[in-house]
Structure 1
Amino acid sequence: MAQIATIQRAIDDIRIGRMVILVDDEDRENEGDLVIAADKVTPEAVAFMVEHGRGLICLAMDNELMDRIGVSPMASANQAPLSTAFTESIDAIDCTGSGVSPADRARTIMRAVDPEASPDQFQVPGHVFPLRARRGGVIVRSGQTEGSVDLARLAGLAPAGVICEVMAADGSMSRLNALLEFGEAHDIPVVTVADLIEYRLHSETLVELQAKSRLPTEWGTFELNLFRCSLDDGLHVALTMGDLQADQPALVRVQRANLLGDAFGLSGSLGRPHLAYTMQKVASEGSGAIVYLSADENEDRIVGQLEHYLSNRTANQSNRSVDSGSEKVEFKDFGVGAQILRALGLGKLRVLTNSPKRMRAVSGFGLEIVDWLPLEAP
């Protein structure tokens, strides 16, 4: 049976207009998408996706390209399980038919990635479904939307990809073994999002150490490491203790900051007690690392937390955890945290968390989780 191809092979194929199959993590959708650079799309490529892919054909684009064509989000409140950022569907105004034919869809896609594209060249709704990729690509969100844009960008093309899920003849989603067979039958390489993450992490540096200092605490003296992230210029703190070695399992916690819970002790928030427990645990073992990630605190987020807290009090549920905060580590957060852990020289992790499945595609970060340890509040 065919094997997983290298990311470099995928980049080379994307550059010359060939398709690849991009597979996400088994803990996510566990699906594979046909991917071709939007720059290189043809009616024949669209027809192949229709006949053999059988899924929904979408156009993934970065923010700059998406803003150029001026389409709005499909929904004002995105309730998709994986926050897939669909916009209004589009057709190019110069389509020769209804817009659904492979030729018309290819025309629409090519118009959308044209450097001179403008909103007046499209009509909505249409038959091409744009997807807005998150800034930062697969490091931020481990999906085919971001993966296809990353592959096109790495190939030196416009940061946009055409994607289509691969489905079996019976309508079920094709999994890895079936995707490998499909790729072998059609001479299409199969690559994974995890490998793409690893490729980017090996070739790009997202975090940079800004400062170091000793930090005396009630649990002992930690070393405070301050990192800046190039994705959003956010500042993140890593507290370390002891001699940390890549080949020795280290006690690790990745936690996102929560202003109301951590600083002001909002009732029901576990951020502060979880942080205290982790510091105590690391100190008791004599070594470990705590990555404390800054959060995107803004008016809407803070007000939303307060409203959620008050609604739970009204429902007489104030004794329950209303905002775990510390457990709401998104993929971007873990991706940045993973680079920080690597910058600290770690390799094998004993992770303190109550939500182990939220850490997706961990292998792509060059880290190995050897144990999961539950969090307890002191």
Structure 2
Amino acid sequence: MTGPFDEATLRSLVPSVIGVLVRRGADFAAAEDAVQEALVEAVRSWPHDPPRDPKGWLVTVAWRRFLDVVRSESARQRREVATELEPDPGPTQDADDTLQVFFLCAHPALTPASAVALTLRAVAGLTTRQVAEAYLVPEATMAQRISRAKRTVSTASFDRPGDLATVRRVLYLVFNEGYSGDVDLAAEAIRLTRQLATLAGPDGQDPETEGLLALMLLHHARRPARTRADGTLVPLSEQDRSLWDTTLVQEGVDVLQAALARQQRGEYQLQAAIAALHADAPSTGETDWVQVVQWYDELLALTDSPVVRLNRAVAVGEADGARAGLAALADVDPDLPRHRAAAAYLHEKSGDLATAAQLYAEAAALATNLAERTHLTKQAARLNSSAGE
């Protein structure tokens, strides 16, 4: 290992090292625990004494930790381990089981929250403390969640093909959590999705995983402009687009174009196409809203999602006017989250400020996110103030 110590590079080795231990006979839960202990030792020692073969070092240390646990269980097991489990000296095996670890952590028996937590531990290599801080829960609570998840997947076949669509959903959940504590989960999700994209398809080409990566890159590029210094939200129409990361935008567009060229369109590719149109426009008013609506039509035909229908109604309001947008919104379930916020925006756009103010206030009362609630409350106050002038 050359150059300065890089913890992200260290953590990128975690799933393949877990795979080696499982192939040697450790169950998944014990392998993951052993690798976590090896990571702690690596963080302590590598900055001063970097190994020539980082993966081999992790495998060796993690395997020893695993053997220590097995040996401590009983004298009988100590004898069996000494004769049966001790590996022959030699290089680390070449097989890369990273994709299998992705599949296990997104096992269909797990809840979404458990799948995300286990992915962050066993694939991203985060500690339980880091995962707990990211989700603002006590470390003991997160430890229990991860332990239950590991018990659930420990009986699953390590060689059984998994579901890429489920893995992608888990990674998108990680991305949408943003960042908290000392871990940037959005950046971590991008790193893991890059890794998945190289493993998922023939020659590292899986259009829908690439579509997810493009979507993440395009959204992440706008992050510097998305909030003010006081933490309040800045809507897309008011964002300073000079703050957007043009390098990430260009990469996202390039990845998306390569994915779309394979003519296997999926949900994430279509979402990314919409994000690319926003990224390409100098302002909200100059956005190609007609094409945005066309992409939403294709996405709606594919998913029949109420959320897509809601977002499409707002886009129709931009492309064809507020009344057309409100007519499209009439077909959307009014109990859907953000329905009132969308209705408020379209009513304001139509000139009905009193109704818009009332809807903004109702949307604020229903918001579960503090930043969103603050933004909606300010919108209602702004319109009420205008009405009183």
When normalised by structure 1's length, the TM-score is: 0.24
Which structure has the bigger radius of gyration?
2
When normalised by structure 2's length, the TM-score is: 0.23
- More helix per residue: 2
Q: Which has the higher contact order (CA 8 A, sep 6+)?
A: 1
- More strand per residue: 1
